[in-house]
Structure 1
Amino acid sequence: MSNGLARMALFGYRVAGICAYPLASPYLAYRTLKGKEERQRRLERFGYPSVPRPHGPLIWVHAASVGETLAVIPLIRELRRREIHVLLTTGTVTSAALSRTRLGDEVIHQYVPLDVKFPIKRFIAYWRPDAAITAESEIWPTTMAELSRRNIPQIRVNARISDRSYERWSNRSKIAELLFGRLALVVARSDLDAERFRDLGAWPVVISGNLKGDTDPPPVDEAVLAGYQSQVGDRKTWAAICTFEGEEEAAAFVHRAIKPRNQQLTIIVPRHPERGDAIEAMLREKGLTVARRSRNDVITPETDIFLGDSIGEMGLYLRLTEISFVGRSLTAEGGQNPLESAMLGCAVLSGPNVQNFRETYQQVIRKGGARMVRDTEMLAKAVHYLMTNEVARRKMIDCGHEAVQDMRGALSTTIKALEPYLNPLTVAARLRPAGGGA
């Protein structure tokens, strides 16, 4: 494909977005009915602000979902320490709830506008960001074009490209060069990610490691934790977290397979809590007794499954166990971040499909803090082994802690790479008189 055809393809994408724009409202209404949008904040998707823009320098930070939001929290706090305002956009209800829980008034949160000319122009014109920082891998052509037109630096942090995305962009190399070439800076998560960004046209590219290694452990309400610990008592426990469809069935199989020997409590934390009703129905069909966090159900000695269908309480669920299976890896693909489990003292188990977290898992497994299982039967054997072998379990937990400590340092590398963009804004923020203009 020539440069001319690549430009025509991007122009066609923008025109298609404009043509489809009238359908955006009914589409978002449908998502609202599904619990995937907040009804009272739907206009944010069209670029309409719901709060005033503060005076002074402002950086737009975009994190698509929960994982990306967790990764950029330490970076956001560093920006705020420098007195730079942060506008955080996310794309999901769960990530918005996480922002409220973890960051509160430290940031301005808005839902990310649609990647269509009218909403994104309206959004950028109102917020006037001094720079745009995106976590990980999202590429939105219209948004990138509008930022470029206004000469707003576009920066990627904790940047990664999955195998599938890299193959797709490589097959459209001219389009990739036009888009990735607009990036002012890429701070890549690994050597492989850096090489892929360079191949696709990004420059300069530096390597930081994984920002998620610098995050704090997820918090917990100590009173709530103490209450559930009392209810669990001395029962053995294990957790299947960040599960996708099919993995709750796998957790139920494991529970039934090892219950005669362990009488354990199984904790299931679905990646999408809105699936709670369907998951409960499936579990009850299998004859299992379910207590749900969303109903504040009491865990009794007869409870088989504690269903963690709440938002922002991973710190609670992981503190109730020392064995954590991390989902989206057995019946789904891509994997989820294992570092939270390792931070909170869990031996980590995972299925083999962890393409999006390959380097992270390699480091944790190399240290001995995680183990891969190829199927449900192997998962059941691994959970039973760890439940009944305290020495092996404690060794994995200690190795996981060591792996997390070894992975820290990405934040300082990222900040150093960002200094040319942050220093002028820090000076402007600190020199601005109280009550001065934007």
Structure 2
Amino acid sequence: MRLRSQIRTFVLNGIWLIILLIGLPWLAWRFVSKGKNRRGWSQKLFGLVPASAKPVGSKRIWLHAVSVGEVHLLNTLVGSLLQHHGDVELFISTTTETGYDRAVALFGDRHEVFFFPFDFSWAIRNVIRRIDPDLLVLAELELWPNLIHISADLELPVVVANGRLSENSHRNYRRFEFFTRPMFQKLNRVAAQDRISADRFVELGCDPNRVIVTGNLKYDAIETDRNNAKTSACRCLARDFGIADDDRILIAGSTQIEDESAAVNAWEMLRSEFGDLKLVIVPRHPDRFAEIESLLEKKGLVANRRSQHGSVSVDSDILVVDVIGELSGWWGLADVAFVGGSMGSRGGQNMIEPAAYGIPVCFGPNTANFQSTVDGLLAHNAAKVVEDTVQLTDFVARALGDRVESESMGKRAQEFVQQHRGAAARTVEILGRFLQSKSRKDLEHAA
């Protein structure tokens, strides 16, 4: 068994080295041209995260989130976790630079934040040796073979929190089942978002007794009060960009180019009927402003840019929010919400946030990554699928023109969200059992 483990590790390290060498030109291009991927290389390549002596009797958890969205999920989980286990030490890793910056902003004053190591055996072992965690928690799904196998070898339990498997991810894992099944078999617990994902985890190799449906942490993370601090701050920003408190606002959030094109076209067609209608675009990737600007220029339009607040302002009814971490606040200002990532091939984005505010919500037809949420909202008549620009225009016009129906749809959406809260408490209960476990045998009965 030990020989097999050594051969597996050797082969995996070789594969990752080849991939890294092939990708070096691309990494160098991003490094030079965009200033990205410049930080954390000692942590990524060698696992040289800050080391600290572990107090006798203390418990430590390594929490991993890929990027900004998963970091926000951890924020919800961490708050609930510390309420019940205030003395636990937390170490938080992220993969992307935007995720790292957000994690530092949220947790850096109290918890250690570092870049997630590449899946080289020496890097993984260094991280585990330096922080000595009692539990590894992966947000949604981030499985790397060396990470999972080494954790199992060292008897470090691995829990997937808010576990989600889209149809595409499930299909891809099945395609390489001979390679991925051993990883799924070694997961100690999966706290799945819904029954669909839970069944997919089992199909991929997880022990059915280790997979539990806890619900979606995103329902616990969201704000329902439009007078919250973030929305109030966004309201002040909106005024500075010429958006009055009584103006009506269409917000297109987490957008790709296909969504932006549909939103701009719909807004143009509605301007004559609704003269006070403003358009706020919050792209999924803020560094895409040039692409959005080009789209607008072709139509003879200009937009204000959130990142230039205080320095540049033009006379425009369009605002592009090209900064990270503000979308949840801006949703609270919307009269109508169009959730992006749904007109192209992205597979949708989080539609729970605008629904929680009681806003009429719509999204395009491609929402496979959020199918359970979409099915629930549609079943409650709390959202609308728009197939194209024409349907989007019609939905916005109806939402603005029929206040009674808009309020009714928004109320149904809020009720749907309230019914699905509680995932954080259920997840923390599972983690708590692992923290109380004394031995490997105990782990088998921790849930």
Classify the TM-score, shorter chain.
0.7 to 0.9
Contact kept, 8 Å, 2:345 with 2:366, in 1: the verdict is yes
Contact kept, 8 Å, 1:14 with 1:116, in 2: the verdict is yes
Letter in 1 for 2:243: V
Aligned to 1:362: 375
Say whether residues 1:239 and 2:241 are aligned partners. no
Q: Deviations over 1:94-133 (max 9, x none)?
A: 3223323444424322121112233323322222221111
Q: Deviations over 1:330-379 (max 9, x none)?
A: 12331111111122332211111111111112222222321111112211
Deviation at 1:242, TM superposition (A): 0.3
Which sections of structure 1, spanning at least 5 residues, go unmatched?
426-438
Matched residue SS, 1:261: coil
The 2-side partners of 1:24 and 1:341 are apart by 38
Match of 2:282 among 243, 253, 269: 269
Say whether residues 1:208 and 2:235 are aligned partners. no
Aligned to 2:445: none
Aligned to 1:150: 154
Task: Out of 108-117 and 288-297, give the one that drifted further.
Answer: 108-117
The 1-side partners of 2:335 and 2:311 are apart by 21
Contact kept, 8 Å, 2:134 with 2:435, in 1: the verdict is no
Contact kept, 8 Å, 1:6 with 1:174, in 2: the verdict is no
Matched residue SS, 1:151: coil
Distance change >3 Å, CA 21–CA 158, structure 1 → 2: same
Aligned to 1:80: 82
Deviation at 1:262, TM superposition (A): 1.2
Aligned to 1:116: 120
Letter in 1 for 2:149: A
Q: Deviations over 1:371-404 (max 9, x none)?
A: 1111122111111211222112111221111111
Say whether residues 1:174 and 2:178 are aligned partners. yes
Contact kept, 8 Å, 1:49 with 1:110, in 2: the verdict is no
Deviation at 1:48, TM superposition (A): 4.4
Match of 1:189 among 187, 193, 203: 193
Aligned to 2:236: 226
Distance change >3 Å, CA 315–CA 162, structure 1 → 2: closer
Contact kept, 8 Å, 1:308 with 1:317, in 2: the verdict is no
Q: Deviations over 1:199-241 (max 9, x none)?
A: 2111211111111111142851735533424731122210110
Aligned to 2:294: 281
The 1-side partners of 2:178 and 2:217 are apart by 30
Distance change >3 Å, CA 259–CA 302, structure 1 → 2: farther
Contact kept, 8 Å, 2:332 with 2:354, in 1: the verdict is no
Say whether residues 1:39 and 2:47 are aligned partners. no
Distance change >3 Å, CA 333–CA 343, structure 1 → 2: same
Matched residue SS, 2:212: strand
The 1-side partners of 2:6 and 2:392 are apart by 49
Contact kept, 8 Å, 1:80 with 1:86, in 2: the verdict is no
The 2-side partners of 1:64 and 1:275 are apart by 20
Contact kept, 8 Å, 1:242 with 1:327, in 2: the verdict is yes
Residue identity over aligned pairs, in percent, reads 28
Match of 2:165 among 136, 157, 161: 161
Matched residue SS, 2:79: helix
Aligned to 1:435: none
Q: Deviations over 1:118-151 (max 9, x none)?
A: 3323322222221111111222112212222222
Contact kept, 8 Å, 2:119 with 2:147, in 1: the verdict is yes
The 1-side partners of 2:6 and 2:158 are apart by 19
Deviation at 1:293, TM superposition (A): 0.3
Aligned to 1:431: none
Deviation at 1:20, TM superposition (A): 4.0
Aligned to 1:371: 384
The 2-side partners of 1:387 and 1:316 are apart by 21
Aligned to 2:444: none
The 1-side partners of 2:298 and 2:137 are apart by 46
The 1-side partners of 2:100 and 2:291 are apart by 23
Match of 1:345 among 343, 358, 376: 358
The 1-side partners of 2:231 and 2:400 are apart by 26
When the two chains are superposed, the root-mean-square deviation of aligned CA atoms in Å is 2.8
The 2-side partners of 1:66 and 1:183 are apart by 24
Match of 1:59 among 45, 58, 61: 61
Contact kept, 8 Å, 1:115 with 1:140, in 2: the verdict is yes
Letter in 1 for 2:266: V
Counting matched residue pairs gives: 422
Aligned to 2:263: 251
Aligned to 1:429: none
Match of 2:398 among 382, 385, 390: 385
Distance change >3 Å, CA 47–CA 346, structure 1 → 2: farther
The 1-side partners of 2:169 and 2:404 are apart by 41
Which sections of structure 2, spanning at least 5 residues, go unmatched?
439-447
The 1-side partners of 2:23 and 2:346 are apart by 29
Task: Out of 356-365 and 102-111, give the one that drifted further.
Answer: 102-111
Q: Deviations over 1:312-345 (max 9, x none)?
A: 1113321221211111111233111111112233
Letter in 2 for 1:236: R
Contact kept, 8 Å, 1:7 with 1:175, in 2: the verdict is no
1:7-26 matches, cutoff 5 A:
12-22=11-21
Aligned to 1:68: 70
Q: Deviations over 1:238-293 (max 9, x none)?
A: 01100113221222111212112113211100000011122123212321120000
Letter in 2 for 1:406: Q
Matched residue SS, 2:190: strand
Matched residue SS, 1:115: coil
Distance change >3 Å, CA 223–CA 249, structure 1 → 2: closer
Contact kept, 8 Å, 1:290 with 1:303, in 2: the verdict is yes
Contact kept, 8 Å, 1:213 with 1:408, in 2: the verdict is yes
Matched residue SS, 1:246: helix
Task: Out of 366-375 and 286-295, give the one that drifted further.
Answer: 366-375
The 2-side partners of 1:181 and 1:209 are apart by 22
Higher relative contact order (CA 8 A, sep 6+): 1
Aligned to 1:334: 347
The 2-side partners of 1:298 and 1:399 are apart by 41
Contact kept, 8 Å, 2:231 with 2:332, in 1: the verdict is no
